[in-house]
Amino acid sequence: MIVLQDITKTFNEGADNEYTAIHGVDLKIDADRVTVLRGPSGSGKTTLLTLIGGLARPSSGRIHVNGREVTSLPERFLTHMRREVFGFVFQSFNLIHGLSVLENVMIPAYPLGGPGRELNARAVELLETLRIAHKAGTEVQYLSGGEAQRVAIARALINDPPILVADEPTANLDTALSLEFLDIVRELRGRGKTVVMTSHDPMIWQADLVDAVVAMRDGRIVDSGVDPGGEGTA
């Protein structure tokens, strides 16, 4: 479970272009659920997601992940916690060009120094479950959008984190591929993973597998209800 208490994020603190993107947010995200952050563009969804996932630190407030206070952790330990707990799927996938699919998937595990054979087997297995194993040797810049996303998901899961974080996962996909993505999320949820994602796509937050939809506007939470589709306007 992730608990956010009075979280504020201010960019460029003290400079002329100082901007507060998140204002005093309190939020609880339950384990083993699928939570969606929704809201118009610029409402702070991505920013909040980076704070939840430990990619950035809040300017004030506290975040607890599985009961542990993480905001004051030094960078080194924040990173250790992050790679144990979170897997990230980025909006633009962010695969490393010039490397093969397999290599991209294994990259997050490199600093852990586990046995190579095991790592390789795990990566191949993940690619198989995501039905992309036939492209294992392809360099990632030659993949289509849907394929790239599946590679990104495999990479996010390589260290077997309990929580998957995804930013606008369907923004670059057509409807058919979006539905396929939802199938993958369903499967992950079935395996007991927690999923947190942002989306301004109704198809996502109205999907029946979503447990909670958090609505945001101007850096504040306007609705943190658990009834999906309850508030039908964006």
Partner 1 sequence: MTVWLRRQKRLIDYTVASLLRRAARNFALLAVYTLIVFVLATVMLFTHALRQEAMVLLDGAPEITVQRISMGRHDLIPASYVDAIADIRGARDVRGRLWGYFYDTANGANYTLMVPDGDRYGAAPDVGETVAGAGVARSRGVVPGKYLFLLSPRAKLFKLKLKDVLDADSEIVTTDLVLMAESDFRAFFDVAPDVHTDIVLKVRNPREVAKVAEKISNALPDCRVVTRGDILRTYDSVFNWREGILLALLGGAIFAFVIFAWEKASGLSAEERREIGILKAVGWETSDVIKMKMWEGAVVSLGAFLTGYVLAYIHVFYFSAGLLEPVLKGWAVLYPRFELTPQVDGVQVATLLFFTVAPYIAATLVPIWRAAITDPDAVMR
Partner 2 sequence: MIFHPTILALLIGSALSSVMVLAGAAFGVRVLRRWDIASGRHGQLVLERRTYLFSVLLAFVMVAELLSLLLFVFNADRMSAQFVGAMCAVGTLNANAFGFPALILKIAVFFLASVWLIVNHVDNMGYDYPLIRVKYAMLIVIAPVVLAAAGVQAAYFLDLDPEVITSCCGKLFTQDATGVSAELAGLDEKAALVLLFGSLALAGVVAAVHARTGQGGMLYGAVSVLVFVAAIAGIVSVVSLYVYEHPNHHCPFCLLKPEYGYFGYWLYVPLFAGTVLGMGGGPIAVFAGAPSLAEIAPRVSRRLVTTSMVCLTGFGAACAYAILSSGLILFGT
Ligand X SMILES: Nc1ncnc2c1ncn2[C@@H]1O[C@H](COP(=O)(O)OP(=O)(O)O)[C@@H](O)[C@H]1O
Site residues for partner 1 per CB under 8 A = 46, 49-50, 55-56, 75-76, 79-80, 82-83, 88, 90-92, 94-99, 103, 107-108, 110-116, 155-156, 159, 167
Does position 46 bind Mg ion by CB under 5 A? yes
Q: Which does 41 bind (CB under 5 to 8 A by kind): ligand X, partner 1, partner 2, none?
A: ligand X
Distance in Å, CB of 36 to ligand X, minimum: 12
Q: Which does 55 bind (CB under 5 to 8 A by kind): ligand X, Mg ion, partner 1, none?
A: partner 1
Q: Which does 60 bind (CB under 5 to 8 A by kind): ligand X, partner 2, partner 1, none?
A: partner 2
Give contact residues for partner 2 (rule: CB under 8 A).
13-14, 57-60, 71-77
State the Cα–Cα distance between residues 166 and 134, nearest whole angstrom: 24
For the window 4-43, what string marks contact with ligand X as x by the rule CB under 6 A?
A: -------xx------x-x-----------------x-xxx
First to last CA, the chain: 27
Residues within the interface to Mg ion (CB under 5 A): 46
Site of interaction with ligand X (CB under 6 A): 11-12, 19, 21, 39, 41-47
